[in-house]
Amino acid sequence: MEARLERAMQKRQVLFLCVFLGASWAGAEQLQYFVAEETERGTPLTNLAKDLGLGLGELSARGARIVSDRNTGFLLLSPLTGDLILNEKLDREELCGPTEPCVLTFQLLLENPVQIHRAALHVKDINDNSPVFLDKEIPLKILESTTPGATFLLERAQDSDVGTNSLSNYTISPNAYFHIHVHDGGEGTVFPELVLDQTLDREETAEFTLTLTALDGGSPPRSGTALVRILVLDINDNSPEFVQSLYRVQLPENTPVGSLVIAVSARDLDTGSYGQIAYAFFYATERILQTFQINSTTGHLYLKAELDYEAIQTYSITIQAKDSGGLSGKCTVVVEVLDVNDNPPELLMSSLTSPIAENSPETVVAVFRIRDRDSGNNGKTMCSIPHDLPFVLKPSVENFYTLVTEMPLDRESHSEYNITITVTDLGSPRLTTQHTITVQVSDINDNAPAFTQTSYTLFVQENNSPALHIGTISATDSDSGSNAHITYSLLPTHEPQLALASLFSINADSGQLFALRALDYEALQTFEFHVGATDQGSPALSSQALVRVLVLDANDNAPFVLYPLQNASALCTELLPRAAEPGYLVTKVVAVDRDSGQNAWLSFQLLKSTEPGLFSVWAHNGEVRTSRLLSERDAPKHRLLLLVKDNGDPPRSASVTLHVLLVDGFSQPYLPLPEVAREPAQDEDDALTLYLVIALASVSSIFLLSVLLFVGVRLCRRARAASLGGFSVPEGHFPGHLVDVSGAGTLSQSYQYEVCLRGDSGTGEFKFLKPILPNFQDHPLESEMGGNSNCRNDLGFGIQLK
């Protein structure tokens, strides 16, 4: 029989499951679903994707998940299929107790973009609990004088089920004296009342033992039993009566333990032991026994444990007043718990995104929900964040909030934000909860490297050693990580003749510049190129700076003698008339130095001469002059050794040898030439190099003039020049290459001298080479000069311009 009932119950459970598994909509705002309690774990309830009209994979793509107040996840969402699955067996009595309907609310959170759908799961009761009496034996004393029709309230059974499955009826075992009347106590509760059918006779039957059965309304119904032991007493014809049958009291939930709740009072008209009253709870529930206690003598009801409005709002307590004769009366005390603001708001974080990429548009940082377990204004909340942060709170449904960026973030300004979310309720006093979240800002490559200088000037001494470190280029990048890792490089130049890669190199990591080979100041004094700094971001950003390398001169070039040329195949002899006065200009040594500055300042010194004291050299211009009058005793030929030295450290020098031949009869040993127009010379700041500048300009002028003379010689065919006394040349031109020297002065006859000029001579004096005579071989000057034609073999000097 029991197995048959069990199978029938299982079939009914399957039927309930099929009926309640369907999803329904309770209005457009909230999704409604139903399930019977004790349904097996893993049972699919509905397909949320179809209910919301979403695609098959859209729930997974949008990060859908179930959010609930409960700590345990009673529901499970399959993002791939969209099925909503029962994750555990539900016990309606454990979840909701006597509350009907039993509704479990939850939310479906879609994170991308943020969207929240409210839903409720209704847990339907099944008849899985039998009625239970707290006491298996109910003692009852009845006076034998009790008139038929008297009623006696018995202990009611407890049934955790609700609705039709709850307690609905009582029966008692058949007997001739009593029957059961079911009394409706309101709010769905029924009480058994024992009704006396006929007068008792203690002498005939002193005690009755009856079986009280409690039945619920389930199908099949469940039942529970208790024994009722009835003792027939002698006459005690007055039962205690309470002053009020119903007491109501309101208590704030923060009432201190031990406080007096209420004092109940009952009267008994009997005297003696039958008039003594004892107060006690009448079949109170376990929760009432834990929360309240009553003084059996005074009837004072005290608070035994703390009240919690959020757990239970109302207590219904039945108090019995019983005299010593066993008669009793009952009253009901209804304790209403008043809410106080004793629960601070709670912030429940659903999702948090960190880090946030800088420069991103409006981005959802966090999604959270606010909950306050108080009611009324005590449960209303306000949410805020500091105003000086680039974030804003946006309220959503069901106390959900989204924290979004108000503007694009800049990691270089703030790499991290500590955001304090403050939640305050509207109770009195107000309670506040603060929750701090840390949001990191991730870097993107939005800052190009910046050089510490827009241009760099580096100095390098020429003739440096290879791979010499000449300086460091530095750049910084405000980004971080690989976006801030800088690589240096040499940028191509616009001058193809400058092989930059063969001259310099740069360390790609440190920016150190190296000269790869020795530099020559005389070849190139200044290098200009650009250096690039590139980060490793994506895309990479770069910048460039100008690098100017100035080569410093070193004294690495000895002076070079332009005149007289020392490598000529024949010696060049200078002619000196014996009648020359002291200070007579014999010749001028012309030298240059490829170095610059002090390294190119030249000084001249007479080291050795055939006749000491006869000649002197001016130290700064190289002019060789006579120091005294010539005499007959002076040798006809003289050899002078001169030293040309620069002003470098250490100084460099060159020596030059001059040959001077003394001649007789020259009254005018040289012819002044007209001034030749000079080309503009380059400006030099140093006054001491003025002679060198003039010499170089003269060389250029002489070269151009030589070309003109060569053309003139070819065209004019040895035109005659003016006489020596009245010799003059039109400015800028020579009339020919011959100069006629008359017999005036110390010479005995007229002579013709050939005039030669070279542009690279670097001097500005006329030079007599040889006379042109009809009878050249017989002239004493030729023999005395020893064939001075050797002087023009290489140099080509006939006249030296000054």
- List, for residues 566-579, the tens digit of each pLDDT value: 765 556 788 989 88
**Residue 318 confidence (pLDDT) above 90:** yes
Provide the token pair at 479: 């980004």
CB hemisphere CA count around 563 (13 angstroms): 33
Give the residue with greater pLDDT, 292 vs 42. Answer: 292
Does pLDDT of 412 surpass 70? Answer: yes
- pLDDT score at 775: 38
Contacting residues for 86 by C-beta, under 8 A, at least 6 apart: 35, 39, 40, 41, 42, 43, 44, 45, 74, 75, 76
Q: How far is CA 503 from CA 528, 541, 594, in A?
A: 12, 27, 22
| Residue 717 banded pLDDT, cuts 50, 70, 90 | low
Interacting residues of 174 by C-beta distance below 8 A, sequence separation 6+: none
pLDDT band (50, 70, 90) for residue 376? confident
- Could you read off the pLDDT of 609-656 as tens digits, one per residue? 988 889 999 999 899 999 998 888 888 899 999 999 999 889 999 999
Cα gap 644→605, rounded to integer Å: 7
Higher pLDDT, 345 or 183: 345
Arithmetic mean of pLDDT, 391-406: 89
Residue with tokens 């509207």: 426
CB–CB of 319/279 below 8 Å?
yes
Q: What is the DSSP string of 745-774?
A: TT-SS-EEEE----TT---BB-----B--T
Coil, strand, or helix at residue 785?
helix
When pLDDT is cut at 50, 70 and 90, the band that residue 333 belongs to is very high
**Length of the chain, please?**
802
Chain centre to alpha carbon of residue 184: 72
Q: Kindly state the helix (H) or strand (E) to which residue 35 belongs, with its residue range.
A: strand 30-36
* pLDDT for residue 497: 64
- How confident is the model at residue 712, as a pLDDT? 78
What is the per-residue pLDDT for 666?
Answer: 52
702-711 average pLDDT score: 82
Q: Is the pLDDT of residue 796 over 80?
A: no
Distance, CA of 260 to CA of 304 (rounded, Å): 10
Confidence of residue 546 (pLDDT cuts 50, 70, 90): very high
Round the average pLDDT of the chain to a whole number and report it. Answer: 79
Q: What is the mean predicted confidence (pLDDT) over 488-512?
A: 85
Kindly calculate the radius of gyration of the chain based on its CA atoms and give it in whole angstroms.
64
Task: Please give the pLDDT value at position 665.
Answer: 60
Percent of the chain with pLDDT over 70: 80
pTM, to two decimals: 0.49
